[in-house]
Structure 1
Amino acid sequence: MPEVPAYVPNQRSGTVSVIDTATDQVARTLDGDGGLGGRLQQVMIGSGGDRLYVVDAQAHRLHELDVASDRILRSVDIGENAEGVAESPDGRRFAVCVEGQNEVMLIDPETFEVGTRIQTRGRAPEHCVFSPDGRWLLTSNEGSDDLDLIDVEAAESVAAIAVSGHPRGIAFSDDGRIAYVAQESANTVDIVDLQARTRTASIPAGERTAGLVLSEDGSRLYASNGSGSVSVIDTQAREEVARIQVGQRPWNPALTPDGGKLYVANGRSNSVSVIDTGRMEEIRQIPVGEMPWGVVIAR
């Protein structure tokens, strides 16, 4: 296995490409012995690093995949049109956003069963992201142009926060006070103050802003734009400082642990762009499967 692998779920291929970030080559292609389904969504790396959790929207299942053996160990029913999955910082629960049912499911990693169902105030929750301290869970609701703020311990939504339009990816500041939210129809990244529970600013980005990842030191925010670029945003100045051309319909990006390279899935180019973050330019495109959804790297 690559020392620092990047995992890429290929929606239409029913596979996960494993990229060796040292060589920028596909080292393996996982398919769970053909059992991952024909419409993959988000992949999450388990805290131990040896398991992947794959959202199979075709079969309405969350699969636990052993990376070494490429074998599905367990599966659980997660309902119609599930997309986002996230692990709490303490590893005690998984959250799955279920668009088709306007709810979040909390799953116990030990039993791999749904323990709690939380109705969202907004419609079509897509991305689920825990705050760094695990107290809050945010959902991006693409059907109602808002975010649900969920109190995890109470297992209830306590607020709906209006945003600029069609929210997608979410990234938290290290202190958990600010959430950055990509706005696909507004072509911006919104800044949301969680204590005030309101949008405080919007940073212009590229057309159809979708995916986000924040650098380790919080100084740079990388936003993928559906029009074929990545915006580099200075979080202190709150402005775009560079725009990097990549493939067609780029989605959810990921950074290597040292922050030196950014990987972006190009959904309509069937490739992953590799960006040198120091030079702020694309250095390679790696062919993967059909319609890659995003990239996930353990950090």
Structure 2
Amino acid sequence: MRRPHFQHLAAIGLMSFSALALAEPFAYVPNEGSGTISIIDTATDKVVGDMPAGKKPRGLAFSGDWLYVSDQPNNSVQLIDLKTRKLGPAVDLGKSPEGVYASPDGRWIAAAVEENDEVAIIDTQSNKLVSNIKVQGENPEHAVFSPDGKTMLVSAEDGGALDIIDFTTRKQVAQLKIGDRPRGIGFLPDGSRAYVAAENSSEIYVIDMATHKVLTHLKGGTRANGVTVHPDGKRVYISNGGDGTVSVLDTASNKIIATVPVGQRPWNMAITPDGKKLYVANGRSDSVSVIDTEKNVKLQDITVGVRPWGVVIK
């Protein structure tokens, strides 16, 4: 009689272990005011931990078991070991790094370095800085890879321009003049179009990636900022820092179909791999808003650290 009982307990233990394994994905939130990263379990929407992350963490990207975090005052990208949640080495980049992005294959990390007007490239195999790509625009904030990894778009927030880089040659090949103070960038999954938010002009620009031309632009919310694309490519989400809202844009019509109130000064965002929940960093509310993307309603606000800058999900 004892053997079936033992097997029953073993089965329960296995189920518990499986449940823990399925607790991912986690949302990682850099808090630039408190120098930490808050970890949110997206299954429960609870903060399950915090990690040290330098003096002023902003941009985040993953490759393998490493998290790469820009640390503005230290002019570097700080590496964090996700297995131990402890600080690893730092890579010196230049003055005031901001947005950090991984190439689709995880081989490269790109960091927009504001005061140097360049994009720094880190090889994740060696975790060394391997190149610096100069851009024409002033004060780049985001440097985002296309889905095929061959092109990079860089928003120059003080130049009113979008710089286009051929990543194969590591050279800028074009520049598009768009609205004042461009910020967030998002690609459709097939790479055919990119969406860019222009903060001071409160506009959203739609870029044809085959021709490198502006297809159209439309009025967004006040101080449009962060951009996140749904995995199915049918919706684009734009945070509006002045309104405290997130706009939902239909990519078939390029029209805004819903507006969702969130916290104060929403900034950068991330969506779960299944596309069901959007996480929005509210810089002045010290919170992350969770949006149900099927109903376009806010589910809740999660208290995090001081002045969250963005979210990435792994």
Query: What TM-score results when the alignment is normalised by the length of structure 1?
Result: 0.95
The residue number in structure 1 matching 2:268 is 252
Give the percent of matched residue pairs that are identical in Structure 1 and Structure 2.
45
The residue number in structure 2 matching 1:15 is 36
Matched, 1:275 2:296: no
Equivalent of 2:280, from 251, 264, 281? 264
Equivalent of 2:83, from 50, 62, 68? 68
Matched to 1:15, the amino acid is: T
Matched to 1:288, the amino acid is: V
Contact kept, 8 Å, 1:204 with 1:239, in 2: the verdict is no
Where do 5+ consecutive residues of structure 2 fail to align? 1-19
Equivalent of 1:100, from 115, 125, 128? 115
Q: CA deviation at 1:186?
A: 1.6
Q: CA deviation at 1:91?
A: 2.2
Q: CA deviation at 1:204?
A: 2.1
Q: What SS class does the counterpart of residue 257 from structure 1 fall into?
A: coil
Please show how residues 32-51 of structure 1 align to structure 2 within 5 Å: 36-46=53-63, 48=64, 50-51=65-66
Q: CA deviation at 1:205?
A: 1.7
Q: CA deviation at 1:203?
A: 2.5
Contact kept, 8 Å, 2:96 with 2:115, in 1: the verdict is yes
Which structure shows the higher helix fraction?
A: 2
The residue number in structure 1 matching 2:3 is none
Partners of 1:209 and 1:157 lie apart in 2 by: 26
Matched to 1:158, the amino acid is: V
Matched, 1:6 2:21: no
Q: CA deviation at 1:101?
A: 0.3
Matched to 1:253, the amino acid is: M
Partners of 1:27 and 1:189 lie apart in 2 by: 35
Matched to 2:299, the amino acid is: I
Q: What SS class does the counterpart of residue 115 from structure 2 fall into?
A: helix
Q: What SS class does the counterpart of residue 100 from structure 1 fall into?
A: coil
Contact kept, 8 Å, 2:54 with 2:78, in 1: the verdict is no
Matched to 2:73, the amino acid is: Q
Q: CA deviation at 1:189?
A: 1.2
Partners of 2:213 and 2:160 lie apart in 1 by: 13
Q: Which moved more, 1:185-194 or 1:6-15?
A: 185-194
Q: Which moved more, 1:245-254 or 1:157-166?
A: 157-166
Structure 1 residue ranges, 4+ long, deviating more than 3 angstroms after superposition: none
Partners of 2:172 and 2:74 lie apart in 1 by: 27
Contact kept, 8 Å, 1:162 with 1:199, in 2: the verdict is no
Q: CA deviation at 1:175?
A: 2.2
Q: What SS class does the counterpart of residue 275 from structure 1 fall into?
A: strand
Equivalent of 1:241, from 242, 257, 271? 257
Please show how residues 1-299 of structure 1 align to structure 2 within 5 Å: 2-31=23-52, 36-46=53-63, 48=64, 50-226=65-241, 227-298=243-314
Q: Deviations over 1:230-251 (max 9, x none)?
A: 0011111111111111100001
Matched to 1:260, the amino acid is: K
Q: Tell me how many residue pairs correspond in the alignment.
A: 292
Q: Deviations over 1:117-150 (max 9, x none)?
A: 1110111111010011111111000011111111
Query: What TM-score results when the alignment is normalised by the length of structure 2?
Result: 0.90
Q: CA deviation at 1:51?
A: 2.0
Partners of 2:225 and 2:120 lie apart in 1 by: 23
Q: CA deviation at 1:195?
A: 2.5
Partners of 1:158 and 1:146 lie apart in 2 by: 13
CA RMSD of aligned residues (A): 1.2
Partners of 1:154 and 1:67 lie apart in 2 by: 32
Contact kept, 8 Å, 1:220 with 1:232, in 2: the verdict is yes
Partners of 1:92 and 1:7 lie apart in 2 by: 21
